[in-house]
Amino acid sequence: MMLHNAGIRMPKKILMIDDETEYTSITKIYLEDAGDYEVHVVNRGSEGYPVAQKIHPDIILLDISMPDISGYDVAKQLQADPELSSTPIIFFTGFYQETEESAALMQGRPYLTKPTSGENLLAFIEKHLPPS
């Protein structure tokens, strides 16, 4: 007998790596209430890569400026891992830099400035999630 998951939709896993605990708590609740998401949060950059290895998220929301390790360094760790290198990363930043050639890319990755609305974040996640 063969079992399969026909018709059963697994929630998309989001890993949020951000040192702002209040922001991550509110955002986690919003995302889980708004869609079929399982949101994992780590509040230290150094915990981001090990947790990503463990849970294999569908998408990663990554703060750039954190006290222990920068989001850029976490992204390099993720990119170097063959099992995680294709996982979409959305950078979050309080710093805004606009360039003509790319209105929404930072180091070749999509980014959002904080604060952003929940609706904007949700639309951005949906846009960058890999198809099921």
Write the burial class of residue 33 (CB in 10 Å: 0-12 exposed, 13-18 middle, 19+ buried).
exposed
Angle 77-82-25 from CA coordinates, rounded to 5° = 50
- The mean per-residue pLDDT over the stretch 3-16 comes to 76
Q: Whole-prediction pTM value?
A: 0.84
Query: Is pLDDT above 80 for 3?
Result: no
Q: Considering the domain boundaries, does residue 3 fall inside one?
A: no
- As a three-state string, the secondary structure of 23-38 is HHHHHHHHHHHHCCEE
Please, what is the average pLDDT of the chain? 84
pLDDT digits (tens, 9 = 90+) for 49-94: 999 999 999 999 999 889 899 898 999 999 999 999 999 999 887 7
Which of 114 and 106 is assigned the larger pLDDT? 114
**Residue 24 sits in which domain range?**
12-128
Q: Could you tell me if residue 122 is inside a domain?
A: yes
31 belongs to a structural domain? yes
Least confident of 10-14, 46-50, 118-122: 118-122
CATH of the domain at 89: 3.40.50.2300
Report the number of distinct structural domains present in the chain. Answer: 1
The answer to whether residue 4 is domain-embedded is no
Q: Please tell me the predicted confidence (pLDDT) of residue 108.
A: 64
